[in-house]
Amino acid sequence: MANFDSNQWYQLYVNQNKDSSLLGTNLYKNGESGAVFFNTTDTDLPGQRWQIYSVNDTYVLRNKDGGTNAFLGTKYEPTETTPGQTQALMIKNTISDDAVYWTVTPWGDGTFYLTNGENGTSWHLKKKANGLLALDSNITAPQNGQRFSFKTIGAINDKKFSSVNVRHDTPFI
CA distances, 53 to each of 9, 102, 103, 111 (Å) = 10, 10, 11, 19
Q: What is the pLDDT of residues 134-173, one digit of tens each?
A: 999 999 887 899 999 999 999 999 999 998 875 444 443 3
C-beta of residue 27 within 8 angstroms of C-beta of residue 90: yes
Q: Is residue 128 classed as helix, strand or coil in its secondary structure?
A: coil
Q: What percent of the chain lies above the pLDDT cut of 90?
A: 80
- Supply the mean pLDDT for the chain: 91
C-beta of residue 126 within 8 angstroms of C-beta of residue 88: no
**The CATH number, out of the four listed (1.10.3720.10, 2.80.10.50, 3.30.420.40, 1.10.1740.10), of the domain defined by the range 8-158:** 2.80.10.50
Q: What is the pLDDT of residues 43-62, one digit of tens each?
A: 999 999 999 999 888 999 99
pTM of the model: 0.91
The residue ranges of every structural domain in the chain are 8-158
